[in-house]
Amino acid sequence: MKKNRVVTTDDILLKLCQSVSSVMTEATSSSITYSAMVQKINKTCLRPDFGCFVLFDGGFSGLVVINFTSQAALEVYSKYMRNMGMPEDELAILHTSDEVGDVLGELMNQLVGDFTNKIRKELKTNITQNQPKMLAITKQVQLSVDTNLDRPQARRVTFSTEKNNIFYLELAMDKTEFIQLEEFEVEEDESPDAILEAERLKSATHDALREEQNSLAATDDLLDELGI
């Protein structure tokens, strides 16, 4: 990575948007996109119809909120469950159902996990997340980060589903800059397929060695019986 590169709060927001888009696109097998424009806001809020939020702390502190309309929540939930093999007639039909909250909470956990992994590799610092919280709401609820931020900043980004349903990502964190002092290589992600293939080869090699050992032991036993 180029020396003296500066990473700002908005660069960190972009990494978060990329994590949201990639994780949800893969989980639902549908296109989840975000706006090229970001909105500066004064406060983060849980908004109707369904809100999820998670706090992170470590190298820097912050709060991530995702607010879904009921249509967006049900679309993401149903496409995720269909992708997992759930029959159509067993899907929940109300965004207030516990199953919808469980799925959105799991996706929130995955996307923030992907984000923290990017931060660890690309910024060489660690942040940890708490357990995501989610609830169906009918009124706006203001949220703030449970820590002292010297220069708090808040941003909102609009996301669209494949059916053009809308949900909003809100990020609150301290204004910060990461300044690169020395060059370094960013670790590449191992694909799940590559990890599984490596484990399969490892297991196959182990089985082959065990069979060879068993064969040698059987040969030794036979030679002993023959007195050789």
pLDDT digits (tens, 9 = 90+) for 161-179: 999 999 999 999 988 899 8
pLDDT of residue 107: 95
CA 67/CA 52 separation, integer angstroms: 6
* DSSP 8-state assignment for residue 187: P
Dihedral sign of CA atoms 76, 82, 83, 86 in order: positive
49 upstream amide cis, omega within 30 of 0: yes
Regarding whether 215 and 108 lie in a shared domain, the answer is: no
186 part of a folded domain = no
- As given in the structure block, the two tokens for residue 111 are 């996307």
Q: What's the number of domains the chain is made of?
A: 2
Are residue 66 and residue 157 in the same domain, yes or no? yes
Q: Are 161 and 219 in the same domain?
A: no
Whose structure tokens read 């007195």? 227
- Going from the C-alpha of 188 to that of each of 47, 117, 120, 122, 175, the distances in angstroms are 37, 11, 12, 10, 28
CATH number at residue 31: 3.40.1550.10
User: Each residue of 92-102: pLDDT tens digit?
Assistant: 999 999 999 99
* Residues 102 and 42 occupy one common structural domain: yes
- Co-location of 201 and 88 in the same domain: no
User: How confident is the model at residue 46, as a pLDDT?
Assistant: 92
157 and 209 in a single domain? The answer is no
pLDDT lower than 70: segments of the chain: 1-3, 145-149, 188-200, 202-204, 206-210, 212-228
Mapped onto helix, strand or coil, the DSSP state of residue 40 is strand
pLDDT of residue 166: 96
pLDDT at site 106: 93
- What pLDDT score was predicted for residue 181? 83
Q: For residue 110, what are the domain limits? A: 6-179
**Pair 143, 221 in one domain:** no
Residue 5 has φ and ψ, to the nearest 5°, of: -70, 140
Where would I find the beta strands (DSSP E) of the chain?
6-8, 33-34, 39-41, 44-46, 50-58, 62-68, 127-129, 133-136, 141-143, 152-160, 166-174, 177-179
The answer to the question of residue 184 being in a domain is no
Residue 185 located in a structural domain? no
Query: Do 162 and 139 reside in the same domain of the chain?
Result: yes
Do 100 and 213 fall into the same domain? no
Q: How much is the pLDDT for 4?
A: 72
* Nearest to 34, CA basis, from 160, 167, 170, 172: 160
- Predicted confidence at residue 195, as pLDDT, reads 47
Looking at the structure, do residues 161 and 215 belong to the same domain, yes or no?
A: no
In this structure, the answer to whether residues 105 and 196 fall within a common structural domain is: no
Q: Do 83 and 144 reside in the same domain of the chain?
A: yes
| Structural domain contains residue 100 | yes
Whether 106 is covered by a domain: the verdict is yes
d(Cα 149, Cα 135) in Å, to the nearest integer? 26
For residue 213, the model assigns a pLDDT of: 67
Q: Is 195 within the bounds of a domain? A: yes
Query: Within a domain: residue 1?
Result: no
Ramachandran bin of 227, using left for φ above 0, alpha for ψ from -120 to 50, beta for the remaining angles = left
pLDDT, residue 204, reads: 66
